[in-house]
């Protein structure tokens, strides 16, 4: 029976196939590929419509929708933009091509090889067509007449950064754009830059009267899957200096990752209008969330506490919000409050600097003023309003954020818009504020302490958060009692302040049980690791023997697949990657081995060109075995390091840093954790962006965990073979800087009167592990050990860690020299004796002779030295 299928929001499948044909007919350069996909979709639909026993309808509809959306987006672009985004469009068509191949894999009577050969031939023809069009400068100049050259330049730079050598044909277009006197040659792309191909948004703004004063607000999608909010902004033509000044808040925002901070996905500063894409808050701002459902007011102080946590996160990083109001406190789909639009004062001033001579801009500003009905100044602190009245520069502060936060609370509690004109608002703030009804004394006193006219008398955000926590806890107790059913016990759910001792006792028992289970699991994992290391060692030996035999061998190693193909070095990189993605576990392993063993044939360029980076990252996440994942990780690291950073940005764009962090978190195979830590070190040294993410998300602590388990992370021969001398020096320099920061934290912990010796011991231990190569902190080992022994019960883990410290002879040698310099001969000889026991090969006669220059002449009586010599100590 023939089925009739309709695509939601589009129409019947037959109508979609007919409607998309005239669109790609006008795309001259890519028409052969589009015609190829369209024809195969029509033939495939004939098969599916008649008999869909294999359940391919859903996959077909998704592929057709993706093809139609890509063609429509490319069709709507100008001729120049079509050239610039040609690589992106080819990637979309490649994806559709792969999906069709997957749906037709087991169909009889289809020549898959002929399909793939036709596809490759058409693709090469299109790439040559792009190069010919870019080489025709006269044609390009004619098409650039009606275009914004700065926007085209920014889009060109982004495509080259994202796709590398695939977009090399755009070099001539970039040089031509730089010859335009209206283009600033110093325009550079920030790390948060996104193009219009990444974010698609509706042209009409949605109804949002409190969207803020930055511009119109639109619904959109990022990467065709994630719903986002897009804020459009009209600015002057961007230059490097102006971007650095006006968009510095976006730079800061892009580095912040916190559940109570609205996430920024990226922005585009070269388009007109410019726009910012951020996370969509499903429930709108806090006032809309509470007004839509009166029962939600029972969660009021818990929402305020969430906002206080987010504001604390900003203040601890010396970031002033400066624009806090109810419309900037949003509620996500998880019911948690999030702060948005913080620190946007410079961007707002950039909007105000926009020339009023532009009629189009003037109309846009009129629309914006009608959309934004609530002035930000109504939430400003009195000292800021007084400065504005005197004509002085308005400088926000942490105290002004606290005041604005209090006004937001008052507005929600009093159920009214706060408060109208600035003069009336200022008078009320400086004199008295009417106490809202149904508010407790604790809540009122908190608001008054936050609303003090004197900035120095206002609470800090840490104290506000603590007091709000108590109010939120009491609110949770009341909420639980209201919803408690008759007959239940009159207890409340446990929390940090309720039944504290009972909860701690239960947590300790659970922790002990989990610790025992973890020890058993670690023992099993260590056994598996030893077996895995033996297997890897046998493989390396076999590879070494294979290399020696390969000179005399006639036929390379090959494996026959279930389709009859032979996986060998003669197979193309694209086919190997296809088997790596869709093949059986055995075929995947064989294909990966061929890629690893033949780096000259299947180099980094070919692997990256055919989406190999995505395939390798997917294997690292979901590979069928730990050995398979480790091999993929090594190959990805080799591509990243050997290619001089060409594919570094591409690897980072796919979120490999977060994936490696999750490997350190959750994988239990030490070898896999060690390789992930090594790769993270390489990325942290080569990229400031990865280094920032690594440090801010406790990556150093995770690496320390791996160091505690196995100190081989930096002396692994396979790892050193992939890193040159300069890269290893950079890695040691990075680790030394982290060690120095730990040592400073330890010294700071010992400076106070109530010295936190336990914390100091832990930090000294971390410094020793991080900087074991230089041995700068090894001289403090005895001091750290004594601290740990004193606090053995509390710092048992740290004590075990320092006992696992690798005993390098150089460390003991430096230690002894330092103790001799301090005239502590007894401890120096003890360190020397331990060093000779642990590492006797290091203490040669020449090194022992060096120590004689540091021994004090009359530090100890000669007779006492002889007694120690007879007892077995070292005499010099």
Tell me the β-bridge partners of 330.
285, 338
Compute the distance between CA of residue 852 and CA of residue 566 in angstroms, rounded to an integer: 69
CA distances from 185 to 141, 154, 181, 182 (A): 18, 11, 9, 9
Which pLDDT does position 464 carry in this prediction?
A: 92
Which has more confidence, 362 or 589?
589
* Phi and psi, residue 840, nearest 5°: -65, -25
Compute the distance between CA of residue 746 and CA of residue 846 in angstroms, rounded to an integer: 35
Which pLDDT does position 365 carry in this prediction?
A: 41
Fold classified for 292-337+375-481? Transferase(Phosphotransferase); domain 1 (1.10.510)
**Structure tokens given for 580:** 């790596």
What's the chain's average pLDDT? 69
Compute the distance between CA of residue 194 and CA of residue 779 in angstroms, rounded to an integer: 50
Closest CA to 699 of 649, 666, 662: 662
8-state DSSP, 229: E
Whether the predicted pLDDT of 201 surpasses 80: no
Which pLDDT does position 309 carry in this prediction?
A: 92
Tell me the β-bridge partners of 676.
none
| Length of the chain measured in residues | 876
Rounded to a whole number of angstroms, the distance between the first and last alpha carbons of the chain is 99
What mean pLDDT is predicted for residues 52-72?
78
Which has more confidence, 245 or 97?
97
Which pLDDT does position 11 carry in this prediction?
A: 66
Of the pLDDT bands very low, low, confident and very high (cuts 50, 70, 90), residue 511 is confident
Which pLDDT does position 755 carry in this prediction?
A: 62
**Structure tokens given for 784:** 């750290």
Compute the distance between CA of residue 21 and CA of residue 31 in angstroms, rounded to an integer: 10
Judge residue 557's burial from the number of C-beta atoms within 10 Å of its C-beta, 0-12 exposed, 13-18 middle, 19 or more buried. middle
Q: Which of 21-35, 99-113, 799-813, 817-831 has the weakest average pLDDT?
A: 799-813
Compute the distance between CA of residue 538 and CA of residue 157 in angstroms, rounded to an integer: 47
The residue with tokens 């592929």 is 63
Residue 400 CA neighbour count, 13 Å, CB half: 24
Which has more confidence, 563 or 288?
288
What mean pLDDT is predicted for residues 787-796?
46
Compute the distance between CA of residue 653 and CA of residue 640 in angstroms, rounded to an integer: 13
Beta carbons of 16 and 105 less than 8 angstroms apart: no
Compute the distance between CA of residue 176 and CA of residue 178 in angstroms, rounded to an integer: 5
**Structure tokens given for 797:** 């883990």
Which has more confidence, 201 or 328?
328
Enter the pTM of the model: 0.45
What mean pLDDT is predicted for residues 216-229?
80
Which pLDDT does position 329 carry in this prediction?
A: 92
Element (H, E) at 201: strand 199-201
Closest CA to 841 of 872, 865, 869, 807: 807
Residue 584 CA neighbour count, 13 Å, CB half: 8
Of the pLDDT bands very low, low, confident and very high (cuts 50, 70, 90), residue 307 is very high
Whether the predicted pLDDT of 85 surpasses 70: yes
**Model pLDDT for residues 692-737, shown as the tens digit of each residue:** 776 777 667 666 666 655 545 555 555 656 566 666 667 777 777 7
Which pLDDT does position 305 carry in this prediction?
A: 92
**Model pLDDT for residues 416-470, shown as the tens digit of each residue:** 544 444 444 544 554 456 677 778 888 888 888 888 888 888 988 988 998 898 8
Whether the predicted pLDDT of 377 surpasses 70: no
Which pLDDT does position 166 carry in this prediction?
A: 65
Which pLDDT does position 744 carry in this prediction?
A: 76
Compute the distance between CA of residue 650 and CA of residue 639 in angstroms, rounded to an integer: 11
The two beta strands, 337-339 and 559-560, are: unpaired
**Structure tokens given for 542:** 């076999």
Q: What is the DSSP string of 671-729?
A: HHHHHHHHHHHHHHHH-HHHHHHHHHTTHHHHHHHHHHH-GGGTT-HHHHHHS-HHHHH
Compute the distance between CA of residue 632 and CA of residue 619 in angstroms, rounded to an integer: 7
Closest CA to 800 of 707, 712, 713: 707
Element (H, E) at 279: strand 274-279
Please give the angle made by the CA atoms of 323, 329 and 330, to the nearest 5 degrees.
135
CA distances from 386 to 375, 383, 433, 447 (A): 17, 5, 18, 21
Count of other CB atoms within 10 angstroms of residue 407: 25
Task: Calculate what percentage of the chain has a pLDDT beyond 70.
Answer: 56
Closest CA to 163 of 642, 653, 659: 653
Whether the predicted pLDDT of 87 surpasses 70: yes
Of the pLDDT bands very low, low, confident and very high (cuts 50, 70, 90), residue 481 is low
Compute the distance between CA of residue 854 and CA of residue 839 in angstroms, rounded to an integer: 21
Whether the predicted pLDDT of 7 surpasses 80: no
Of the pLDDT bands very low, low, confident and very high (cuts 50, 70, 90), residue 386 is confident
Q: Where along the chain do its domains lie? A: 6-178, 187-281+340-374, 292-337+375-481, 809-870
Which has more confidence, 494 or 652?
652
Q: What is the DSSP string of 741-756?
A: HHHHHHHHHHHSSS--
The residue with tokens 């690589």 is 87
What mean pLDDT is predicted for residues 166-172?
66
Whether the predicted pLDDT of 308 surpasses 90: yes
Of the pLDDT bands very low, low, confident and very high (cuts 50, 70, 90), residue 20 is confident
**Model pLDDT for residues 727-778, shown as the tens digit of each residue:** 666 777 777 777 777 777 777 776 665 566 666 766 766 676 666 555 555 5
Compute the distance between CA of residue 22 and CA of residue 20 in angstroms, rounded to an integer: 6
What mean pLDDT is predicted for residues 60-74?
83
Whether the predicted pLDDT of 603 surpasses 90: no
**Structure tokens given for 398:** 């942490």
Give the 3-state secondary structure of residue 218: strand
Of the pLDDT bands very low, low, confident and very high (cuts 50, 70, 90), residue 667 is low
Contacts for 118 with CB less than 8 Å, ≥ 6 apart: 36
Domains 187-281+340-374 and 292-337+375-481 share a fold: no
Whether the predicted pLDDT of 558 surpasses 60: no
Residue 458 CA neighbour count, 13 Å, CB half: 22
Which has more confidence, 811 or 638?
638
What mean pLDDT is predicted for residues 265-270?
79
Q: What is the dihedral sign for C-alpha 467, 473, 477, 482? A: positive
| CATH superfamily for domain 187-281+340-374 | Phosphorylase Kinase; domain 1 (3.30.200.20)
Q: What is the dihedral sign for C-alpha 756, 762, 763, 768? A: positive
Q: What is the DSSP string of 602-667?
A: S-HHHHHHTTHHHHHHHHHHH-SSHHHHHHHHHHHHHHHHHTTTTTHHHHHHTTHHHHHHHHHHH-
CA distances from 330 to 167, 508, 871 (A): 40, 37, 74
Which pLDDT does position 852 carry in this prediction?
A: 67
Element (H, E) at 732: helix 725-751
Beta carbons of 228 and 270 less than 8 angstroms apart: no
Beta carbons of 657 and 696 less than 8 angstroms apart: no
């Amino acid at each position: 029976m023939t089925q009739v299928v309709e695509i939601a929001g589009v129409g019947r499948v037959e109508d979609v196939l007919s409607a998309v044909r005239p669109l790609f007919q006008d795309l001259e350069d890519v028409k052969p590929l589009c015609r190829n996909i369209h024809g195969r979709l029509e033939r495939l639909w004939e098969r599916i419509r008649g008999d869909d026993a294999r359940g391919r309808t859903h996959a077909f509809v998704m592929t057709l929708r993706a093809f139609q959306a890509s063609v429509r987006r490319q069709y709507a672009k100008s001729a120049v933009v079509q050239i610039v985004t040609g690589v992106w469009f080819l990637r979309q068509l490649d994806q559709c091509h792969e999906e069709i191949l997957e749906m037709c894999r087991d169909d009889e009577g289809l020549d898959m090889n002929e399909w793939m050969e036709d596809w490759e031939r058409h693709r090469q023809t299109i790439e040559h067509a792009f190069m010919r069009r870019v080489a025709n400068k006269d044609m390009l100049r004619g098409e650039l007449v009606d275009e914004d050259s700065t926007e085209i330049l920014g889009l060109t730079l982004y495509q080259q950064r994202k796709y590398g050598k695939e977009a090399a044909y755009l070099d001539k277009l970039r040089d031509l754009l730089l010859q335009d006197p209206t283009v600033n040659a110093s325009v550079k792309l920030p790390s948060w830059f996104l193009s219009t191909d990444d974010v698609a948004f509706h042209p009409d703004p949605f109804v949002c009267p409190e969207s803020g004063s930055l511009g119109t607000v639109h619904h959109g999608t990022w990467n065709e899957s994630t719903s986002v909010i897009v804020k459009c902004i009209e600015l002057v033509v961007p230059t490097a200096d102006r971007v650095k000044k006006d968009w510095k808040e976006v730079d800061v925002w892009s580095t912040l990752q916190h559940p109570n901070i609205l996430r920024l996905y990226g922005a585009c500063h070269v388009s007109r209008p410019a726009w910012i894409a951020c996370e969509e808050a499903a429930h709108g701002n806090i006032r809309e969330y509470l007004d839509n459902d009166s029962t939600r007011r029972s969660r009021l102080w818990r929402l305020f506490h969430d906002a206080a946590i987010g504001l604390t996160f900003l203040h601890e990083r010396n970031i002033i919000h400066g624009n806090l109001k109810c419309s900037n406190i949003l509620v996500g789909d998880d019911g948690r409050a999030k702060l948005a639009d913080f620190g946007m004062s410079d961007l707002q001033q950039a909007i105000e600097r926009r020339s009023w001579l532009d009629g189009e801009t003037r109309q846009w500003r009129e629309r914006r003023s009608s959309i934004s009905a609530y002035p930000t100044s109504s939430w400003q602190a009195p000292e800021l309003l007084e400065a504005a009245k005197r004509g002085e520069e308005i400088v926000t502060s942490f105290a002004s954020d606290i005041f604005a936060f209090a006004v937001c609370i008052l507005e929600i509690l009093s159920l009214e818009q706060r408060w109208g004109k600035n003069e009336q608002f200022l008078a009320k703030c400086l004199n008295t504020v009417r106490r809202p009804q149904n508010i407790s004394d604790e809540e009122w006193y908190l608001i008054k302490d936050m609303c003090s006219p004197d900035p120095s008398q206002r609470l800090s955000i840490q104290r506000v958060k603590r007091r709000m926590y108590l109010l939120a806890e009491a609110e949770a107790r009341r909420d639980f009692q209201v919803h408690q059913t008759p007959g239940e016990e009159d207890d409340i759910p446990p929390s940090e302040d309720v039944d504290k001792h009972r909860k701690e006792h239960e947590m300790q028992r659970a922790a002990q049980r989990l610790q025992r289970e973890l020890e058993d699991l670690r023992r099993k994992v260590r056994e598996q690791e030893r077996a895995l290391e033996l297997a890897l060692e046998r493989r390396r030996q076999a590879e070494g023997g294979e290399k020696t035999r390969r000179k005399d061998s006639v036929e390379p190693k090959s494996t026959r697949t279930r389709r009859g193909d032979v996986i060998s070095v003669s197979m193309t990189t694209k086919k190997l990657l296809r088997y790596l993605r869709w093949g059986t576990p055995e075929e995947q392993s064989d294909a990966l081995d061929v890629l690893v063993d033949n780096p000259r044939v299947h180099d980094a360029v070919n692997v990256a060109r055919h989406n190999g980076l995505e395939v390798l990252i997917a294997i690292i996440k979901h590979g069928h075995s730990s050995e398979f994942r480790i091999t993929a990780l090594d190959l990805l690291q080799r591509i990243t390091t050997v290619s001089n950073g060409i594919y570094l940005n591409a690897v980072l764009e796919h979120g490999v840093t977060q994936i490696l962090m999750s490997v350190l978190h959750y994988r239990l195979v030490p070898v896999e954790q060690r390789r992930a830590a090594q790769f993270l070190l390489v990325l942290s040294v080569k990229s400031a962006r990865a280094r920032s993410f690594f440090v801010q998300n406790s990556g150093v602590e995770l690496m320390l965990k791996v160091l505690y388990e196995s100190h081989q992370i930096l002396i692994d021969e396979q790892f050193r073979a992939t890193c040159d001398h300069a890269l290893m020096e950079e890695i040691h320099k990075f680790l030394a800087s982290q060690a120095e920061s730990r040592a400073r934290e330890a010294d700071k912990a010992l400076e106070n009167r109530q010295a936190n010796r336990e914390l100091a011991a832990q930090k000294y231990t971390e410094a020793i592990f991080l900087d074991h190569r230089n041995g700068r902190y090894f001289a403090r080992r005895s001091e750290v050990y004594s601290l740990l022994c004193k606090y053995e019960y509390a710092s048992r883990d740290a004590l075990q860690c320092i006992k696992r410290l690798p005993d390098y002879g150089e460390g003991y040698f430096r230690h002894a020299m330092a103790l001799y310099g301090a005239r502590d001969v007894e401890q120096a000889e003890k360190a020397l004796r331990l060093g000779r026991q642990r590492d006797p090969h290091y203490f040669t006669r020449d090194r022992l002779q060096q120590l004689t220059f540091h021994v004090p002449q009359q530090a100890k009586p000669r007779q006492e030295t002889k007694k120690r010599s007879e007892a077995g100590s070292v005499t010099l």
